[in-house]
Amino acid sequence: MENTTDVKKPLIVIADDDKLVRTITSDFLKAEEYTVIEVDNGNQVMEIINQQKPDLILLDILMPNKSGIELCHEIRHSNAGEFTPIIMITAFDDDEYAEKVFDAGADDFITKPINTTILKHRAQRLIKAEINRKKLEILAYYDDLTQAYNRKIFVDRFCEEYEKARRKNYTIGIILADIDKFKDINDRYGHVTGDLVLKKLADLLRTNCHQYDLLGRYGGDEFIICLPEVGYKELRQIAERIQRAVNEMKIKTREGVEIKVGGSFGLDIIEPQEVNDIHLVLEQAVNNADKNLYKAKNAGRNTVVG
């Protein structure tokens, strides 16, 4: 769920059951200022992709239990690894294997024994291309101020999550959140402070949600969170935890004035079923949550209703 742009060493995963190949390749890449994780099986690769989002994967074509070809297919069909650059490592250099490698979704391949000069340049090229893709993704997918999903992308991601929830038969929680008396904050302290409040709220929402939850800026000072696999009780607990955290949030204006803010929250639970238009499902859920948000405002603000 998070969008982070911190500068750090690119992370490369080497998946090969040959320890000698892993060690030699790892030592070379570390000397080239990469962070390297070595694994000897495919299951570990998927765990790392989901948890750490590597910048490049070096994948041996022949591994026990699950071949590199099978694993490459699996990575390409996962949300976390759909675009991750993959270089296959193979002892074969014929057209048949080359076709299998590219059909599986790999970006390139390199033969054993590994030529480190070739590896260096292929790794640089693919990682640079992925960095540029991520920059474009940030511009297209995320709200510039808060780095939450923009409304269009949130809706797209929700539709994907809804289909998954329908297949696996679990509910989805929706939270609508906004800052109480946000217009007054803008009028009194200026839009720079108002923007800072929105950034702080977005950061706080990210901190208090799971990585697989969806956070979007739905308009103005209103944010929406989609929480897969939660029931009403857990949804309310999460919203109340966030509401308490908002109350503890301290924000300083450019003049050094410390201000406190409050937040109101409206909830809804979705039970996915076969429908013709998922967008209408989201629209109804947002309407329900918005009504509860309105009730929270009428109840004195700074509370959770749903």
Question: Token pair for residue 61?
Answer: 């074509």
CA-to-CA distance for 162 and 170, rounded, in angstroms? 9
Taking the C-alpha atoms of residue 193 and residue 186, their distance in angstroms, rounded to an integer, is: 7
Tell me the two tokens of residue 179: 């800052």
Nearest Cα neighbor of 150 from 205, 90, 204, 218 is: 218
Handedness of CA 271, 272, 276, 277 (dihedral sign): positive
Least Cα distance to 176 among 267, 262, 261 occurs for 267
Q: Of 16, 143, 213, 221, which is the active-site residue? A: 221
Distance, CA of 35 to CA of 91 (rounded, Å): 25
Has 143 been annotated as catalytic? no
Q: How many CB atoms lie within 10 A of CB 183?
A: 11
Question: CA 292 to CA 268: how far, in whole Å?
Answer: 8
Q: For 171, phi and psi rounded to 5 degrees?
A: -85, 165
The catalytic residue positions are: 221
